[in-house]
Amino acid sequence: MGQSRQTSELSAALRRSAAAFAGVAGISGLVNLLTLTGSFFMLEVYDRAIPSRSIPTLVGLCILALVLFVAQGALEALRARILARIGTALDADIGARVFYLSVRAPLYGVQSEEAGQPLRDLNQIRTFLSGTGPTALFDLPWLPAYVALCFLFHPLIGAVAIGGALLLGALTLLTDWTTLRPSRAASEHAAQRHALFEAARRNAEVVAAMGLHGALCRRWEAAHHDEIDAQQRTADIAGGFGAMSKACRMALQSGVLALGAWLVINGQASGGSIIAASILVARALAPVELAIANWKGFVAARQSWRRLSLALHHLPAATQPMALPAPRATLSVEAVSMMPPGTHLVAVYDASFRLTAGQALGIIGPSASGKSSLVRALVRVWTPLRGRVRLDGAALEQWSAEDLGPHIGYLPQETELFAGTVAENIARFQTDPKALAIVAAAKAAGVHEMILRLPEGYQTRLGDRGAGLSAGQRQRVGLARALYGDPFLVVLDEPNANLDSEGEVALTQAIRGIRARGGICVVVAHRPSALAAVDLVLLLADGRMQAFGTKEEVLRRISRPVDVARAEQPRKSA
């Protein structure tokens, strides 16, 4: 039931173009009727103009045929334009949804390299709709009409047309069956090759420093060759059946000529009917041949449709909740348990605490204790396995992402900026940001002076992932982005990992500024300097809360076992 419901989400986008499809169907009917122009023109020339030796009749037939051919060409061009716009309309209708799906896919355990597959699938579907493949599908229903006309010329000619259609249909089914596995394998090998390239690109420094070029290149070449081999098998099979269908159609056309000649010799048909029937049979079988020629694109579009439908099923479209007032008072964590996406291990067990406006919490603990998993729940990056996170009593799920975002500031462990100016990154790429708010955020993060020293100040353009800035500079600009707009909840995950002493002082001032304006700050820290401005501390170990309270109380409890161990060490050595 769920799969069919989500599949209908993709189908609904096409159904919104139902009128355009109806127009294409109507135009296809007119085009197929006008396609008979050539057959009937030859019939009239051989049976009327030549026997009567009438030049006016021949001229009249030529003018009429020319007008009909021009009309046919204009209608075919119009049909192609409509199909292209149907593909564009599909992209415009569901493109933003698919982009959102691709962006959020890594948060649900999908590998980053595979996250862009829905966008590629949408592009494949749009390309197919804009090509000649749908034209063949709209022409195929007219095949029985052409066969019926062949029977009007003579039953034997109709029988030959039916036999040819069945033969080409069998070739079409064989093409589908034999290309399914290699085309699927080609897609899988392409994904592997792309994933390997992306991993090597992201770790270019490690690859260069440790001489991994050769090993990675060999792995890339193996995946690349597998993809090429699969593509070649698909192309060879499709090309072979395409050539067979073309040869069969030409043989059938010649066979119809021979059959027509036999019928004329026996006085059962006219001379003009020979040429007309030959053209008609060729036109009747042309859609089948065109379908075979476009079968590779049809198979690829069908696979993309299935993958995209499955992706939409895994991430349904969120309903727009009722707007809520901006949070101003509390952050409540109620028995939250976290399981990272794509794993079966619980990282956090039943964490519960409550913070009020003006408080700052430092989360400490050994590596892999669940600190980052917990803060990802606070900013709704991950959904808790159990429990709730609430702002002013409302669960985070009661906000839409667009409504909640301005109230949240988040600085992850690995700070990555986007291609654009420094100002655009700080302003979170808002359409019309206020310059004063950008400068205020930069000053709150203590990064205003540093930005002014850049070549073009706030208008300095950054490359992908913030290329052009050092790791420490990226982290400080990321902090300014987190503080932009004075969000109520600011979550900083190891914010001093790449900071120097000046940056750490600025960080401490930023946390104090959040508290002073009535916000809540949560800091994940490995270095004690990040805790200078917090008043509460939470100790995590093995995913469980070991201590929660004032900074002095928790740090005193942590340091007491260390002091006892140091006091007992000389006794043991003695």
Sign of torsion over alpha carbons 88, 93, 94, 97: positive
Provide the CATH number for the domain formed by 330-573 in this structure: 3.40.50.300
Q: Among 4-13, 26-35, 210-219, 313-322, name the one with the lowest average pLDDT.
A: 4-13
| Helix (H/G/I), strand (E/B), else coil: 376 | helix
The pLDDT score that the predictor gives to residue 2 is: 44
- Residue 544 forms beta bridges with which residues? 541
- In whole angstroms, what is the distance from residue 330 CA to residue 538 CA? 17
Q: CB within 8 A of 433, min separation 6: which ones?
A: 423, 424, 427
The pLDDT score that the predictor gives to residue 438 is: 93
The pLDDT score that the predictor gives to residue 565 is: 42
Which residue, 446, 405, 449, is CA-closest to 427? 405
Which residue, 137, 111, 159, 172, is CA-closest to 24? 137
- Give the model confidence (pLDDT) of 64-83 as tens digits: 989 999 998 999 899 888 98
| Helix (H/G/I), strand (E/B), else coil: 417 | coil
Q: CB-hemisphere CA count at 13 Å for 505? A: 3
More confident of the two residues 455 and 557? 455
Assess whether pLDDT exceeds 90 at residue 480.
yes
pTM: 0.67
- Stretch (H or E) spanning 306: helix 295-314
- 139 φ/ψ angles, rounded to the nearest 5 degrees: -85, -25
Overall residue count recorded for the chain in this entry: 574
In percent, the amount of the chain with pLDDT more than 90 equals 19
- Stretch (H or E) spanning 349: strand 348-356
- Stretch (H or E) spanning 216: helix 213-265
The pLDDT score that the predictor gives to residue 336 is: 92
Assess whether pLDDT exceeds 90 at residue 278.
no
Assess whether pLDDT exceeds 50 at residue 339.
yes
The pLDDT score that the predictor gives to residue 161 is: 79
More confident of the two residues 60 and 195? 60
- In whole angstroms, what is the distance from residue 377 CA to residue 520 CA? 15
Assess whether pLDDT exceeds 50 at residue 570.
no
Q: Among 273-282, 332-341, 417-426, 483-492, name the one with the lowest average pLDDT.
A: 273-282
- Give the model confidence (pLDDT) of 501-528 as tens digits: 787 888 889 999 999 999 999 999 877 7
301: left (phi over 0), alpha (psi -120 to 50) or beta: alpha
Binned at pLDDT 50, 70 and 90, residue 113 comes out as low
Assess whether pLDDT exceeds 70 at residue 318.
no
Binned at pLDDT 50, 70 and 90, residue 205 comes out as low
Assess whether pLDDT exceeds 90 at residue 141.
no
Residue 280 near residue 253, CB atoms below 8 Å: no
Q: Which residues of 546-572 are buried (b: 16+ CB within 10 A; e: fewer)?
A: ebbeebeebbeeeeeeeeeeeeeeeee
The pLDDT score that the predictor gives to residue 232 is: 83
**Given the structure tokens 């916000």, which residue do they identify?**
519
Instruction: Give start and end residues of each alpha helix (H) in 107-212.
Output: 117-129, 133-139, 143-153, 155-202, 204-209
Residue 351 near residue 312, CB atoms below 8 Å: no
Longest dimension (CA), the chain: 132
Q: Per the structure block, which two tokens stand in for 433?
A: 């940001």
Domain ranges, ordered by start, for the chain = 1-131, 330-573
Q: What number is the average pLDDT over the span 301-323?
A: 78
More confident of the two residues 454 and 42? 454
| Helix (H/G/I), strand (E/B), else coil: 538 | strand
Mean pLDDT for all residues in the chain? 82
| Helix (H/G/I), strand (E/B), else coil: 32 | helix
**Given the structure tokens 């667009």, which residue do they identify?**
402
The pLDDT score that the predictor gives to residue 4 is: 45
Helix axes 155-202, 295-314, angle to 10 degrees: 50
- Give the model confidence (pLDDT) of 396-424 as tens digits: 888 888 888 889 999 988 888 888 899 99
177: left (phi over 0), alpha (psi -120 to 50) or beta: alpha
Assess whether pLDDT exceeds 80 at residue 254.
no
**Given the structure tokens 């006091």, which residue do they identify?**
567
Q: Report how far apart, in Å, the C-alpha atoms of 470 and of each of 200, 494, 495, 510 are.
A: 21, 17, 15, 20
- Residue 492 forms beta bridges with which residues? 411, 523
In percent, the amount of the chain with pLDDT more than 70 equals 91
- 545 φ/ψ angles, rounded to the nearest 5 degrees: -70, 120
CA Rg value for the chain: 35
- Stretch (H or E) spanning 389: strand 386-391
The pLDDT score that the predictor gives to residue 108 is: 66
Q: What number is the average pLDDT over the span 38-44?
A: 78
- 324 φ/ψ angles, rounded to the nearest 5 degrees: -115, 155
